[in-house]
């Protein structure tokens, strides 16, 4: 009897104590424990020693130094149910399709992740190494340069995987929130002239000056990572020193100002946007400072806390090309005095003979919903600004999630013009197709390019909103 009584009193006291403690802690802590987990890491991907650089066909020698190191940065986010998003940002010209496939397959093998769980984005810096992932991209290279290209891709793959692994190891309770600001140094670079649209600052052209931020805090409220977006080519510089251009400096300045954090740049739909003015190192730093300052301003705006769950979707949209040029026309173009035009025509003739000339391209489209707070759309290729403006205009509703549109994600294979840009003509409309190396592009896209891309985007947006099942095909 005595023992039972003792147990009764012990249980009662323990229960009362627990109830009192939970009341006290609820008052002291305010919001509930974080439901998210996050881990972040940063790995250097600057080539060891001189390397051929990507971005300008006119470069005729390898790099001669490093002005600012380049990084692969990974953020792993998990919701309460364990749904995962792996975000990798790269200070590189491109995310070649084969590079994404490699990472995707490794994550499927080692962690059972689906394509929808992985997002790769590149800053499109024109002062980084070339990334030649396919035989056709390496055809015609001197043996030494070819060997160097193969070695760099292998080392890049390893470093990206190690960065993702490090972020998984650091997974810990986290709070996520959305904030935003603006920055104005991006200007439309398509100027109408009597010779058609040329690459020149156009102060009246369309721009997207939004700077969206994903703020990642640990359970104590300390910032661990800031992901920030901007829609503008990283083309301030064109010299022979490796660096991440304005986005590289913006990340560096933020990491200096907030010791211990990882700052990650997410390229927006900046296919037709350039930073102005250009060409001097001081200007790349100045634009970087401007963007970092905008991010700091954003950090002072009201935080939109992200609750709820993560919904990840991914599918490919088959973008169709306009009719391929006929053999006769290509034979004629192969006589061109322009070295690039000549080589391009020869490659297309080769594809035509082999029956491998593309008629469409499977472009990856990804939509991620962060609770009720962010609708995140990641577009492939060098998407022009019309896409982010349109997707925000059609989906940014009062009280609804903030819409964030990234370009240059998952497979950066070519410029993707809107119908408007396609009809206007010029570099982004199809003129640049001859410079694409990973996949030989037969020519301009068909006029239905915007319709096909938007159809896929809208399907995924609908699927994330209504929790419908969605294809996660590769």
- Sign of the Cα pseudo-torsion (98, 271, 453, 115, in order): positive
Q: Which is nearer to Zn ion, 130 or 382 (CB)?
A: 382
Q: Which is nearer to Zn ion, 94 or 177 (CB)?
A: 94
Provide the β-strand partners of residue 402: 374
Q: Which is nearer to Zn ion, 165 or 382 (CB)?
A: 382
* Tokens standing for residue 403: 């819409």
Q: Which is nearer to Zn ion, 42 or 438 (CB)?
A: 438
CA gyration radius, the chain:
24
- Whose CA is closest to 188, among 201, 174, 171? 201
How many of the other CB atoms lie within 10 Å of CB of 93? 22
CB of 56 to Zn ion, least distance (A): 10
Strands (E) across 296-424 are located at 304-305, 310-320, 360-370, 374-378, 382-383, 402-406, 415-416
CB of 233 to Zn ion, least distance (A): 6
Restricted to residues 118-177, the positions that interact with Zn ion (CB under 5 A) are none
Give the per-residue contact string, 369-388, with Zn ion (x = CB under 5 A; - = no): -------------x------
The size of the interface with Zn ion (CB under 5 A), counted in residues, is: 1
CB of 382 to Zn ion, least distance (A): 5
- Cα(402)–Cα(213) distance, rounded to whole angstroms? 11
Q: Helix or strand or coil: residue 397?
A: coil
CB of 386 to Zn ion, least distance (A): 16
CB of 290 to Zn ion, least distance (A): 21
Terminal-to-terminal C-alpha distance of the chain: 68
CB of 186 to Zn ion, least distance (A): 13
Give the per-residue contact string, 333-362, with Zn ion (x = CB under 5 A; - = no): ------------------------------
- Cα(167)–Cα(164) distance, rounded to whole angstroms? 5
CB of 124 to Zn ion, least distance (A): 6
Q: Which is nearer to Zn ion, 199 or 293 (CB)?
A: 199
- Cα(153)–Cα(292) distance, rounded to whole angstroms? 30
Q: Which is nearer to Zn ion, 403 or 433 (CB)?
A: 433
8 Å CB contact between 294 and 441: no
CB of 372 to Zn ion, least distance (A): 34
* Tokens standing for residue 82: 């364990």
Q: Which is nearer to Zn ion, 79 or 272 (CB)?
A: 272
Q: Which is nearer to Zn ion, 115 or 381 (CB)?
A: 381
Q: Containing H/E element for 387? A: helix 385-395
- Cα(152)–Cα(99) distance, rounded to whole angstroms? 12
CB of 91 to Zn ion, least distance (A): 15
Which residue's CB atom is positioned nearest to Zn ion?
Answer: 382
- Cα(460)–Cα(472) distance, rounded to whole angstroms? 10
- Cα(380)–Cα(410) distance, rounded to whole angstroms? 6
Residue 221's φ and ψ, nearest 5 degrees, are 95, 5
CB of 453 to Zn ion, least distance (A): 18
Q: Which is nearer to Zn ion, 217 or 382 (CB)?
A: 382
Q: Which is nearer to Zn ion, 120 or 461 (CB)?
A: 120
Restricted to residues 23-52, the positions that interact with Zn ion (CB under 5 A) are none
* Tokens standing for residue 132: 């030649």
Restricted to residues 103-122, the positions that interact with Zn ion (CB under 5 A) are none
Per-residue CA distances from 184 to 127, 294, 313, 365, 408 (Å): 22, 9, 32, 28, 20
Interacting residue ranges for Zn ion, rule: CB under 5 A: 382
């Amino acid at each position: 009897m005595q023992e039972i009584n003792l147990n009764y009193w012990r249980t009662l006291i323990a229960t009362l104590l627990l109830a009192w403690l939970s009341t006290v802690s609820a008052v002291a802590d305010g919001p509930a424990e974080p439901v998210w987990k996050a881990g972040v890491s940063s790995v250097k991907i600057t080539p060891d020693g001189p390397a051929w650089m990507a971005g300008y066909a006119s470069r005729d020698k390898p790099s001669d130094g490093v002005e600012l190191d380049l990084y692969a940065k990974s953020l792993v986010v998990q919701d309460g149910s364990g749904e995962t998003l792996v975000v990798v940002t790269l200070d590189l010209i491109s995310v070649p399709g084969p590079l994404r496939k490699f990472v995707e397959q490794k994550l499927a093998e080692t962690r059972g992740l689906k394509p929808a769980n992985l997002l790769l984005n590149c800053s499109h810096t024109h002062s980084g190494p070339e990334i030649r992932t396919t035989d056709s991209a390496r055809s015609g290279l001197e043996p030494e340069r070819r060997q160097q290209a193969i070695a760099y891709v292998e080392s890049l793959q390893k470093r990206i995987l190690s960065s993702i692994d490090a972020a998984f190891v650091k997974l810990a309770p986290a709070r996520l929130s959305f904030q935003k600001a603006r920055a104005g140094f991006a200007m439309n670079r398509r100027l109408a002239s009597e010779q058609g649209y040329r690459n020149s600052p156009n102060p009246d052209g369309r721009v997207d000056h939004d700077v969206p931020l994903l703020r990642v805090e640990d359970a104590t409220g300390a910032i661990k990572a800031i992901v920030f977006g901007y829609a503008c080519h990283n083309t301030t510089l064109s010299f022979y020193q490796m660096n991440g251009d304005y986005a590289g400096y913006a990340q560096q300045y933020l990491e200096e100002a907030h010791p211990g954090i990882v700052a990650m740049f997410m390229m927006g739909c900046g296919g037709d946007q350039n930073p102005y003015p250009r060409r001097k190192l001081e200007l790349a730093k100045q634009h970087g400072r401007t963007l970092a300052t905008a991010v700091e301003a954003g950090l002072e705006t009201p935080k939109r806390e992200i609750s709820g769950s993560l919904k990840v979707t991914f599918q490919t949209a088959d973008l169709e090309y306009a009719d391929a040029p006929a053999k006769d026309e290509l034979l004629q173009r192969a006589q061109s005095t322009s070295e690039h035009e000549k080589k391009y025509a020869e490659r297309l003739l080769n594809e035509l003979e082999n029956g491998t000339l593309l008629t469409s391209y499977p472009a990856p489209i990804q939509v991620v919903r962060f609770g009720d707070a962010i609708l995140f759309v990641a577009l492939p290729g060098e998407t022009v600004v019309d896409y982010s403006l349109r997707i925000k205009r059609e989906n940014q509703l009062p009280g609804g999630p903030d819409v964030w549109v990234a370009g240059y994600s998952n497979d950066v294979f070519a410029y993707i013009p809107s119908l408007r840009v396609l009809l206007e003509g010029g570099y982004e409309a199809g003129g640049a197709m001859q410079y694409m190396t990973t996949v030989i592009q037969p020519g301009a896209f068909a006029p239905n390019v915007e319709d096909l891309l938007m159809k896929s985007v809208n399907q995924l947006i609908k699927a994330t909103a209504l929790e419908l099942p969605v294809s996660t095909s590769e």
